[in-house]
A and B are shown apart, each in its own frame.
Chain A
Amino acid sequence: RKEVEQDPGPFNVPEGATVAFNCTYSNSASQSFFWYRQDCRKEPKLLMSVYSSGNEDGRFTAQLNRASQYISLLIRDSKLSDSATYLCVVTNYGGSQGNLIFGKGTKLSVKP
């Protein structure tokens, strides 16, 4: 079983739609969780951190369920500019360092 698994995608949605991405992780000791965004042929960039209490940033809402080892990202009122690949990321700490473990990503295409 892969450490981080995401919806296969791609997701093709019209502008204004609400879209949700899901992610599961296998290591119950994982400590921090994030969503990164990667535009085509560009580097990944941090979109938002994910907290157990849930967090919202404008049109984006992230949720974490530690018991189910499940992470989600909800995008409301999709814009054309939201088209990108969304990477689910977890961290495992060991000693004085930590590693980011990325999922394969889910591609989102928002159409006019």
Chain B
Amino acid sequence: EAGVAQSPRYKIIEKRQSVAFWCNPISGHATLYWYQQILGQGPKLLIQFQNNGVVDDSQLPKDRFSAERLKGVDSTLKIQPAKLEDSAVYLCASSSQPLDIYEQYFGPGTRLTVT
């Protein structure tokens, strides 16, 4: 079974630029999560989708971050404009059911460096 795919794996941008990350969850998984992991910290949930609807975006900095999952499969996370403190690994995860959260499978992440 293919795992969660993410691209790009690495991205370096200057502050105030825009960047987008892509995630393809495990086939059939209805729930998709985006996490931000800053160096030395645990992952922090940014947004959770159930199919193509948002169920939790309480920790998403909506002034600069946006995410969508238009067809209930792939998802994109965008940052516009980026700040230095956005440097982190952005992890996408998926699970088959919203309450099977211990069954979350993580992708390899996108390492973002903002200079």
Q: Which residues of A contact B (CB under 8 A)?
A: 4, 32, 34, 42-46, 49, 87, 89, 91, 93, 95-105
Contacts and interface: CB of A to CB of B under 8 A. Distances in A.
A98 B107 contact: no
Given A45-B106, A97-B50, A4 B42 contact: yes
Interface in B49-106: 50, 55-56, 91, 98-99, 101-104, 106
Contacts of B31: 97
A100 B45 contact: yes
B102 A32 contact: yes
Contacts, number: 58
Interface of B: 31, 40-45, 48, 50, 55-56, 91, 98-99, 101-104, 106-109
A56 B104 CA distance: 21
